[in-house]
Amino acid sequence: MVEARIRVIYGDTDQMGVVYHANYFRYFEFSRSEYFRARGGSYREMEREGLALPVVEATASYKSPARYDDVLLVRPRVSEVKRVSLTFTYEIFREGGSDTPLCTGRTVHACVSREGRPTRLPEALVRLLHEAP
């Protein structure tokens, strides 16, 4: 299991001291990068090979607020791999908190060429997504 650790900075919060809702999508993105890194891959390498994985759908469900200086644990997981797309799901927990997530989410990514055309996920990428870190 990959777990990305993030400390909430003041700039991530709103006037009430609560993490602004859109920042959870940044946390999802950070955890995806860590997911690839933990498996020996990177977005940068994919881009060098002429591929990109843009987000085509994103959702988040907020359960409980995160606040300034909280340490968050983001757990990304690949939940579905199709021919030209893949889906990540996420759970965000407060370090030292309960086993109930503060936020859950999902992002769907299309695999596209440098020209922006849908393309089949390379077999090497599919293997990398499923290997244990």
Strand partners, 30: none
Residue located via tokens 């860590």: 34
Amino acid at residue number 55: V
Cα 119 from chain centre: 21
Report which DSSP code applies to 12: G
14 is catalytic: yes
Q: Check 14, 69, 70, 99 and give the catalytic one.
A: 14
Kindly list the catalytic residues: 14
